[in-house]
Amino acid sequence: MATPTNSPSASTTHGGTRVEFKNLTKVFDNGGHRTEALKGINLTVEPGEVIGIIGYSGAGKSTLVRMINGLDTPTSGELYVGEHNVVGMPEKQLRTLRRGIGMIFQQFNLLSSRTAAGNVAYPLKLAGMPKAQRDKRVAELLEFVGLGDKGNNYPEQLSGGQKQRVGIARALATNPALLLADEATSALDPDTTHEVLKLLRKVNKELGITIVVITHEMDVVRSIADKVAVMENGRIVEYGSVYDVFSNPQTDVAARFVATSLRNTPDVVEADDLLAKDGRLFTVNLTEESGFFAAAAKAREAGARISIVHGGITTLQKHSFGKVTVRLTGDEDAVQGFYEQLSTTTDCEEILR
Ligand code: ADP
């Protein structure tokens, strides 16, 4: 149970919006110079889900977000936010739609001339909420983000993490059912990033808001998202549950992002050091049904010696998985038997000299 001060009374939202892209494209045409920023996006975000959209710079992530909040218009395709197709929607309706979407940004985008309370109050003022009601709601929102005592501080008197908390309170002010976070933690140090991600999780769990997180950091995806879509060159090249993508990435780009977060295989320098000694090295995928232990026992019986030289196990979405790198020495047939047994049941890759 939430404590009274943390109660979701800060917002009445109890449910998120569904977002669906159908073959959406976006072409920028600047005086004859064409850039296909989105090349046919198909993606569904279910209500109340947290999705991480990850990709290198220029992959099309920001363009995708700008489509959702109607700040830019798609070239073709359909995009549903809730019931409504945003493509071709008149500006007046778009403005109403935007009120149901909260945004948080890398640079916080706070008004420096207003206090924390003033920043949170701003969208409520624009929406015409009377002052007494506004003050009460601002106090609730600041409490919800853990800044109940900082209402009178100006942005310059706040740390980066506190500024982003104000940004989140402001984004929640109009009671959105969808929150878009565009590189919202990229300007923060690791501890503060963790704090802000924890708050976003609370927003999702307690208020049920759908959250779309745009990031180039796989750690962010890992700690907050249910699903992940990997973008490359205007396309979604991989999509799945965070567990599926982390434990078994299908594309090179996804594997590279996963490696930045898990660091459970030796890098080239470590591999070089490990190869300087005797024996053969194998990196084995450890999923919950891994045949590693059976194969290791059999190989030892047959005269191989096994030592674990590198690895890491992690838990995601209630599943444990990881990789170990092992060195096998001793009887050559036993070593080869280990490799052959595992390469049929699970991923087992030899690190070659
Ligand atoms: P990301 O957010 O993944 O870094 P962007 O969505 O910003 O990627 O950009 C995707 C591609 O679209 C890039 O090649 C970028 O140069 C291009 N692009 C983005 N906005 C514009 C624009 N307003 N005019 C022309 N090209 C653009």
25 CB near ligand 1 (under 6 Å): no
What's residue 31's pLDDT? 86
Of 82-96, 169-183, 201-215, 220-234, minimum mean pLDDT range: 82-96
Which has the closest alpha carbon to 38: 8, 58, 13? 58
- Mean pLDDT across the stretch 11-25? 83
Whether the pLDDT of residue 10 is over 90: the answer is: no
CA distance 326 to 351: 10
Whether the pLDDT of residue 305 is over 50: the answer is: yes
Tell me how far the alpha carbon of residue 90 lies from the centroid of ligand 1, in angstroms: 24
pLDDT in tens, 269-290: 999 999 999 999 999 988 777 7
pLDDT in tens, 114-135: 999 999 999 999 989 999 999 9
What's residue 15's pLDDT? 76
Tell me how far the alpha carbon of residue 188 lies from the centroid of ligand 1, in angstroms: 23
Whether the pLDDT of residue 208 is over 60: the answer is: yes
- In ligand 1, which atom is closest to the CA atom of 234? 10
12 CB near ligand 1 (under 6 Å): no
What's residue 201's pLDDT? 94
What's residue 217's pLDDT? 92
- Would you say 116 and 142 are in contact if contact means Cβ atoms under 8 Å apart? yes
58 CB near ligand 1 (under 6 Å): yes
Domain 268-351 has CATH 3.40.640.10: no
236 CB near ligand 1 (under 6 Å): no
Neighbours of 200 (CB within 10 A): 24
Domain 268-351 in the same topology as domain 10-100+175-260: no
Whether the pLDDT of residue 222 is over 80: the answer is: yes
Q: Which residue is listed with tokens 């194969």?
A: 295
57 CB near ligand 1 (under 6 Å): yes
For 240, half-sphere exposure in the C-beta direction (CA atoms, 13 angstrom radius) is 14
What's residue 14's pLDDT? 60
Whether the pLDDT of residue 3 is over 60: the answer is: no
Whether the pLDDT of residue 207 is over 90: the answer is: yes
Domain ranges for the chain: 10-100+175-260, 268-351
Q: What would the two tokens of residue 195 be?
A: 């704090």
Tell me how far the alpha carbon of residue 13 lies from the centroid of ligand 1, in angstroms: 33
Whether the pLDDT of residue 109 is over 50: the answer is: yes
Which has the closest alpha carbon to 119: 160, 159, 152, 95? 152
What's residue 11's pLDDT? 47
CA distance 327 to 311: 12
Tell me how far the alpha carbon of residue 72 lies from the centroid of ligand 1, in angstroms: 12
Tell me how far the alpha carbon of residue 317 lies from the centroid of ligand 1, in angstroms: 33
60 CB near ligand 1 (under 6 Å): yes
- Would you say 292 and 324 are in contact if contact means Cβ atoms under 8 Å apart? yes
Tell the residue nearest (CA) to atom 22 of ligand 1: 28
Which has the closest alpha carbon to 292: 279, 309, 306, 274? 306
What's residue 228's pLDDT? 97
- Mean pLDDT across the stretch 192-220? 94
What's residue 9's pLDDT? 44
Whether the pLDDT of residue 2 is over 50: the answer is: no
Q: What would the two tokens of residue 109 be?
A: 């985008």
What's residue 32's pLDDT? 85
What's residue 176's pLDDT? 94
Q: Above pLDDT 90, what percent of the chain?
A: 75
pTM score above 0.75: yes
What's residue 5's pLDDT? 37
- Mean pLDDT across the stretch 76-105? 91
**CATH code for the domain defined by 10-100+175-260:** 3.40.50.300
**How confident is residue 317, by pLDDT bands cut at 50, 70 and 90?**
confident
Whether the pLDDT of residue 157 is over 90: the answer is: yes
61 CB near ligand 1 (under 6 Å): yes
- Phi/psi of residue 294, nearest 5 degrees: -65, -45
